[in-house]
Amino acid sequence: MHTGFLTIYWRDMLRFIRFRTLLFASLVQPALWLAFFGIAMSNNFDRLTATLPAIPGVKTVGYLTFIGAGVIAMTTLFTSLFGGTVLLFDKNWGLMRETLSSPLPRIHIIIGIGLSGMTKSFIQAAVIMVFGILLGVQFFEGYTLAQILASLLGIMLFIGAFSLGFLFLSAAIAITMESPESMQAVITLLTMPFFFTSNALYPANSFPPLLRALSTINPLTHLVSGIRYFAIGGDFSSIGIHYTYTQGEVFVSFLFLLAFTGIMFLIARWRFKKVTVT
Amino acid sequence: MALENNIIDVNGLEYFFGEVKAVDNISFTFREGAIFSFMGPNGAGKSTVINILTTLLPMQKGSVSIAGYDLRTEPEKVRESIGIVFQELTLDRDMTVREILEYHGRLYSMPKAARQARVDELLDLVELEEKRDTLTRHLSGGMKRRLEIARGLMTRPKVLFMDEPTIGLDPQTRIRIWDYVRDINQQGTTIFLTTHYMDEADQFSDEISIMDHGKIIVTGKSWELKNALGQDLIYLETSDNREAGELLKNLDSVKGIKEKTKGIVVMVNVDGTYLLPEIIDKLRSRGITIKAVNLKKPSMDDVFVHHTGRELRDTGTEKSSVISLRAGGR
């Protein structure tokens, strides 16, 4: 097997680790989300829902735990959507000419960037989980070690599939755009609907029908559901709402993410075939 | 199929940017182991030719074979056979000198041991050994260029394409870079060069082609091109410039006479080195005293102006791609 994508991966990770400030910011920022937004909202929600009777026989978790999965998902979304930016800079500064005139098949550029972005998302998710648990996020509560490991694997699969999909999308945008400003604008525009039509920060159950429909085809919703299933469980209640995820539903969510990623890969491949860099 | 000793064989190459014809039906062959220069004003189509030959632009019309491989059907093989030094600097500012070479070797699937040996060898060649772990953002312009040349050589290419390799560098650095280029060439690498500097093309190339408006106008060795002009100029100051002019006008080998304030310029169509003594004898025999003599051979600049009708202006590289599109439009 041609392992050219590892070269692209190596270079991107090299740059990620080299810039300490960037590395530090990218790890601390999601933790701060959890610390400020999470705690502030958590106090409000918990006060509002304090009068609601607990559902008998169902584990109840606080809002901070509920949003913990959302913050991981949100961070993965942002990091992945911006993950392709390096390709735009490479293209604009002429650095991509070296890669494109080499025997490396172009598909490897997409795969390499995808894998390095995925690695970054894994690192960030790990940081958020550790930090979250320190803040009081009730992840993996009452799990055995084996269950925790299995859950972590499940979360990684979900984050992996999701981040690859958005990295391919990001790479396709980067290779098509002319300037960093326009890329920034497009991505900012994209993040809004993905973010706010998902169940990351609040329950999607009480959305009006259109938003609910959008929510069910939103990859972010499926990622959040997957993380909650593995980190909290298939049957819990939070802020007065009873959540159940069956294995089947979670499997469908995963298939949905895989399909999304597959389509994004095809789009990225098509955009890369078109590109000429001189 | 290319001939055995032709490393590059281009036939009927054409390239359009939209409606604009940037390369207009050009054909040429390079023999292995030589240094070839493409000269031409900005927008002549040199970079477009290089970009096509290095697979960065798609083939539209014509046929190209490099190192025996057809560019259209085996672009990967062509890519493996060539090295490129681009016109603009294309170094990642955030990587070290060693990493730049390492990355390049990896792109070409060089095995680890070969990569490391080659990095050592090349850093030694371009005298960047001390800068091995320095980020390229901290290198001087000349060092960056040397690193790019080293990178172009990383995979021991059969052909090294160099697009304006010495542009914007100081004279000492240019000389050093030319030393490397000649070293490399003596080790068997064929070199395809575009340059703005006439003196470089003149001194270092085995063969020169002048391009303008997407066409190759003339090709030859530097002395052939100069002699073909037949434009040796002899400047004379004499005791009687008028009479001297009258006398010389009738010689077969004199094309024309121009009067200057203190003397005359005689344009000749033979080698002036041999004609000059004859002229001096002739003038003396008529009692004309010669006060000053100067013989000027045509330079590459004269060759260039003769074929393109303009001076080669050294405009900056910044806007060259824009200019090339516009100039091609005429």
Chain A CA closest to residue B55: A101
pLDDT of B223 reads 82
Nearest-neighbour CA in chain B from A216: distance (Å): 41
Nearest-neighbour CA in chain A from B151: distance (Å): 10
- Asked if residue B169 lies in contact with residue B144, where contact means CB atoms within 8 angstroms, the answer is no
pLDDT of B324 reads 36
Count of alpha carbons within 13 Å of B12, Cβ hemisphere only? 4
pLDDT > 70? residue B210: yes
Number of helices (H) and strands (E), helices first, in chain B? 12, 14
Average the pLDDT over B261-265 and give the result: 87
B257 and B204 in a single domain? The answer is no
Proportion of chain A in helix, strand, coil states, percent, rounded to 5 = 75, 5, 20
pLDDT of B246 reads 87
What tens digit of pLDDT does each residue of B179-206 get?
Answer: 888 888 998 899 999 887 888 888 889 9
- Asked if residue B64 lies in contact with residue B13, where contact means CB atoms within 8 angstroms, the answer is yes
B191 and B242 in a single domain? The answer is no
pLDDT > 80? residue B231: no
DSSP code of B136? G
Nearest-neighbour CA in chain A from B4: distance (Å): 24
Report yes or no on B191 lying in a domain: yes
| Residues ≥6 apart with Cβ < 8 Å to B250 | none
**H helix runs in A136-232, sequence order:** 145-176, 180-196, 209-216, 219-231
- Asked if residue B81 lies in contact with residue B67, where contact means CB atoms within 8 angstroms, the answer is yes
DSSP code of B266? E
Alpha carbons A169 and A69: distance in angstroms, whole number: 23
Alpha carbons A46 and A64: distance in angstroms, whole number: 9
What's B282's domain CATH number? 3.30.70.100
| Residues ≥6 apart with Cβ < 8 Å to A41 | A63, A67, A201
Hey, what are B176's tokens?
A: 């050093």
B243 and B154 in a single domain? The answer is no
B218 and B258 in a single domain? The answer is no
The CB-based long-range contact list for B164-171 (8 Å cut-off, 24+ gap) reads B164/B87, B164/B194, B164/B195, B164/B196, B164/B317, B165/B85, B165/B193, B165/B195, B166/B195, B166/B197, B166/B200, B167/B87, B167/B196, B167/B317, B168/B141, B168/B317, B169/B141, B169/B142, B169/B145, B170/B142
Alpha carbons A61 and A241: distance in angstroms, whole number: 10
B16 and B154 in a single domain? The answer is yes
pLDDT under 70 in chain A at which residues?
1, 278
Could you give the percent of chain B with pLDDT greater than 90?
35
Residue B130: CB atoms within 10 A of its CB come to 9
Nearest-neighbour CA in chain B from A25: distance (Å): 18
pLDDT > 50? residue B33: yes
B117 and B192 in a single domain? The answer is yes
How does A66-96 read in b/e, with b if 16+ C-beta sit within 10 Å? bbbbbbbbbbbbbbbbbbbbbbbebbeebbb
What is the phi-psi region of residue B43: left when phi exceeds 0, alpha when psi lies from -120 to 50, beta otherwise?
left
Hey, what are A85's tokens?
A: 């930016």
Contacts of A18 in chain B (CB under 8 A): 94
pTM of the model: 0.82
pLDDT of B178 reads 87
pLDDT of B314 reads 43
pLDDT > 80? residue B330: no
Nearest-neighbour CA in chain A from B112: distance (Å): 12
pLDDT > 50? residue B207: yes
Q: Residue A98: phi, psi to the nearest 5? A: -60, -50
Contacts of B54 in chain A (CB under 8 A): 101
- Of B226, B243, B268, the one marking the end of a domain is B226
B110 and B211 in a single domain? The answer is yes
Please tell me whether residue B72 adopts helix, strand or coil conformation.
Answer: coil
DSSP code of B135? B
Alpha carbons B59 and B71: distance in angstroms, whole number: 8
Alpha carbons A190 and A184: distance in angstroms, whole number: 10
Alpha carbons A197 and A211: distance in angstroms, whole number: 6
What tens digit of pLDDT does each residue of A40-84 get?
Answer: 888 887 777 777 777 777 888 888 888 899 999 999 999 999 999
- Of the pLDDT bands very low, low, confident and very high (cuts 50, 70, 90), residue B115 is very high
Q: Residue B163: phi, psi to the nearest 5? A: -100, 105
pLDDT > 80? residue B139: yes
Report yes or no on B309 lying in a domain: no
- Of the pLDDT bands very low, low, confident and very high (cuts 50, 70, 90), residue B172 is confident
Contacts of A7 in chain B (CB under 8 A): 103, 106-107
Q: A89 CB near a chain B CB, below 8 Å?
A: no
Please tell me whether residue A153 adopts helix, strand or coil conformation.
Answer: helix
| Residues ≥6 apart with Cβ < 8 Å to A229 | A154, A245, A250
What's B71's domain CATH number? 3.40.50.300
ipTM score: 0.86
- Asked if residue B181 lies in contact with residue B149, where contact means CB atoms within 8 angstroms, the answer is yes
B202 and B260 in a single domain? The answer is no
B98 and B148 in a single domain? The answer is yes
Nearest to A135 by CA among A75, A69, A68: A68
- Asked if residue A271 lies in contact with residue A176, where contact means CB atoms within 8 angstroms, the answer is yes
Number of domains in chain B: 2
**Interface probe with A: pick from B23, B47, B55, B56, most Cβ of A within 10 Å:** B56
Q: Which domain holds residue B292?
A: 232-297
Alpha carbons B48 and B55: distance in angstroms, whole number: 11
pLDDT > 50? residue B316: no
Q: Residue B85: phi, psi to the nearest 5? A: -115, 110
Could you give the strand order of the β-sheet that contains B190-195, starting from the edge strand earlier in sequence? B82-85, B159-163, B190-195, B35-39, B207-212, B215-220
Nearest to B174 by CA among B206, B146, B210, B202: B146
B144 and B278 in a single domain? The answer is no
Query: What Cα–Cα distance (Å) separates residue B231 from each residue in A20, A200, B167, B225?
Result: 64, 81, 29, 11
- Of B191, B208, B226, the one marking the end of a domain is B226
- Between the ranges A250-264, B33-47, B274-288, where is the mean pLDDT highest? A250-264
pLDDT > 50? residue B322: no
- Chain B, 106 to 125: residues with Cβ < 8 Å from chain A are 106-109
Alpha carbons B58 and B166: distance in angstroms, whole number: 27
pLDDT > 50? residue B326: no
Report yes or no on B310 lying in a domain: no
B89 and B158 in a single domain? The answer is yes
Alpha carbons B8 and B161: distance in angstroms, whole number: 12
- Asked if residue B278 lies in contact with residue B246, where contact means CB atoms within 8 angstroms, the answer is no
B245 and B103 in a single domain? The answer is no
**Interface probe with A: pick from B107, B155, B159, B162, most Cβ of A within 10 Å:** B107
Size of interface A-B (CB pairs under 8 A): 69
- Asked if residue A127 lies in contact with residue A55, where contact means CB atoms within 8 angstroms, the answer is no
Q: A258 CB near a chain B CB, below 8 Å?
A: no
